[in-house]
Chains A and B, each alone.
Chain A
Amino acid sequence: MFNNIKKDFPIFLNIPDLVYLDSAATSQKPQQVIDSVTKFYSKENANIARGLYKIAEDATMNYEQVRSKVQKFVNAKSSNEIIFTQNTTSSLNAVMRGWGENFVKKHDKIVTTVMEHHSNFVPWQFLAKRKQANLVVVDVDDDGQIDLGDFEKKVKDSKIVTLSTVSNVLGVINNVNKLCDIAHEQGAICVVDGAQSVPSMPTDVQKINCDFLAFSGHKMLAPFGIGILYGKEELLEKSDPFVYGSQMIRKVTQKENEWNDLPYKFEPGTPDISAVIGLGKAVDYLSVLGMDNIHKHEQMLIGYLLKQFSELDGLNVLGPENSKQRGGLVSFSLDKIHSHDVAAMLAEDNICVRSGHHCAMPIHERFGLAATTRASVYVYNQKEDIDKLINSLKQVQKVFS
């Protein structure tokens, strides 16, 4: 099923020897998605929710259909619970400003984890400072797993618990179902950063029972500029908008105004309609492959990679050794070779990996590392991509030996 996928992705036709192992940063886009964006601009282009003419009505309908598609994709109860934003970062900031602003008070406790991406760390740091609340950071064990004892202790009497399903550095899959339950027992709301999980495994927000879930279109085959915020309707109702203007308002008189209904009160201004249309195609594409299959495919590749890594001397892997506890990415370091040099040398072989702190400095600090190199896989990757990576890594080690 996954053997023939590369041909759907024009970048691999245009750059035939490209070894793309940086999908955790952004995924490549299939022709179907690119075509849907081109088709929109060439045959359907109109603004939504305003015009009464055919292409405007069609654009509105198609836009709302994607909302329903996303609703089904993450199994939300209602399409009112799906807010279109720009990316994961703006979704998380929306929770911070929409809900956090209304409900976090002085001395309240906000809980996050040391493995979070800055996008799920800095907003809470900022909110805590502004409200004179306390930000508490849950540690991980040396294997990169959330320290459950530490979690249970820190979550006591907290107001917000926020964590990622899959860490973009450790690759570890967190048991968010259980962690959300623990948070709820303490009366906290649970915010989940799904940027690395929603593209690669089945997501059921009702099962997780999270209060909010944030993710990005561009990491799941869709265009840039479209992010998603899922929120329980009841909580979204209690949250206030924080960007004001058109569409988010129902009625404006010279003295007063009234917020629009969900989800529109959180979608001010004209959105990137083409990106939403592309997102719809991306969801279709992923659904045909099946999220379970994608997860298995990634775990197979990561298992293969970890096995080969274990045979390289002087290569250290962050996070769990067992690929069954991982999503589709692995961060590592090579003894005495800086991650920047590793990535730059791989780049000369057309191998794309990431080096640096991956916007997650706290976890690097936790492991005493300034930077790591990260390889990540997605639907189009094959074992041969891993083989090429391993070969080039051996070369890098040789040059530096």
Chain B
Amino acid sequence: MDDIYQEFIIELYKNPMNFGRMAKPDYHAEVHNSTCGDRIELSLKMKSGIIVDVKFAGSGCAISQASSSLFTEYLKGKTLDQLKKIDKQEVLALLKIDLSKNPSRMKCALLPLDALKKSIK
């Protein structure tokens, strides 16, 4: 039963990276996945045109939590223009698991991307 639930996913679920909130984020958004009740809040800090800090908070399944950890890490050092260009494939590549046959899990994995898009809109 562990095609999707590889050790690093479980590990990130238990010990997420960049988990928390920010006092005064430059960009901020909260998104929900109505089918499973997952909720993710994303906060971004910008300095001289570059993302210097990213945090996420909320609750969700292992996939959305692991994806958020990896995704927040990935955003650091990027410019606003670069953020705008990030697409689904990049997020899925971070997770390194095949979700092509699990459309419902795909939504979980892409939740932090939804949050990013909403925050910089």
Q: Do A and B bind each other?
A: yes
Binding site for B on A (CB under 8 A): 338-341, 344-346, 348-349, 355-357, 364, 370-371, 392, 395-396, 399-400
| A370 and B2 contacting across the interface, CB-CB below 8 Å | no
Cβ-closest chain B residue relative to A348? B1
* B106–chain A nearest beta-carbon distance, Å: 12
Known contacts A345-B5, A348-B3, A355-B36; decide if A399 and B10 are in contact (CB<8 Å).
yes
Rounded to whole angstroms, the CA-CA distance of A399 and B11 in the bound complex is 10
B3 touches A370 (CB 8 A): no
Nearest-neighbour CB distance to chain B for A178, whole angstroms, equals: 34
Are A340 and B108 CB-contacts (below 8 A) given A356-B37, A371-B37, A399-B10?
yes
Complex interface: chain A residues within 8 A of B39 (CB): 370
Q: Are A357 and B1 in contact (CB under 8 A)?
A: no
**Residue interface bits B31-58, CB-to-A below 8 A is 1, else 0:** 0000111110000000000000000000
Asked whether A349 and B1 contact (CB < 8 A) given A340-B108, A356-B36, the answer is yes
Q: Are B36 and A344 in contact (CB under 8 A)?
A: no
* Chain A residue contacts of B1, Cβ below 8 A: 345-346, 348-349, 392, 395-396, 399
* A338 in contact with B10 (CB, 8 Å): no
For B4, list chain A residues within 8 Å (CB): 344, 348
Q: Report whether A341 and B3 are in contact in the complex, using a CB–CB cutoff of 8 Å.
A: no
Residue of A nearest to B3 (CB): A348
Complex contact B61–A338 (CB within 8 A): yes
Whether B62 lies near A341 (C-beta < 8 A) is yes
C-alpha spacing A159/B120, complex, angstroms: 49
Kindly state the separation between the CA atoms of A340 and B13 in the bound complex, as whole angstroms.
13
Contact (A356, B61) CB under 8 Å given A341-B5, A344-B105, A348-B1:
no
Contacts of A396 in B (CB 8 A): 1
| 26 cross-chain CB contacts under 8 A | A338-B36, A338-B38, A338-B59, A338-B60, A338-B61, A339-B36, A340-B36, A340-B61, A340-B105, A344-B4, A344-B5, A344-B105, A345-B1, A345-B5, A346-B1, A348-B2, A356-B35, A356-B36, A370-B39, A371-B36, A371-B37, A392-B1, A395-B1, A396-B1, A400-B13, A400-B62
Contacts of A341 in B (CB 8 A): 5, 13, 61-63
Closest to A340 in B: B61
Smallest Cβ-Cβ distance to A395: which chain B residue = B1
Report B-chain residues with C-beta under 8 Å of the C-beta of A340. Answer: 36, 38, 60-61, 63, 105, 108
Picked from B37, B63, B102, B108, the residue with its CB within 8 Å of the CB of A357 is B37
How far is it, in angstroms, between the C-alpha of A357 and the C-alpha of B10 when the chains are bound?
23
Q: Mark B1-32, 1 if CB is under 8 A from A, else 0.
A: 11111000010011000000000000000000
Chain A residues within an 8 Å CB radius of B102: 344
Residues of A within 8 A of B63 (CB): 340-341, 344
Min Cβ gap B60→A in Å is 6
User: Complex formed: what's the CA distance from A29 to B67 in Å?
Assistant: 39
Whose C-beta in chain A lies nearest to the C-beta of B59?
A: A370
Contacts of A344 in B (CB 8 A): 4-5, 61, 63, 102, 105
Q: What residues of chain B lie closer than 8 Å to A395, measured between beta carbons? A: 1
Chain B 56-79 interface residues, beta-carbon cutoff 8 Å to A: 59-63
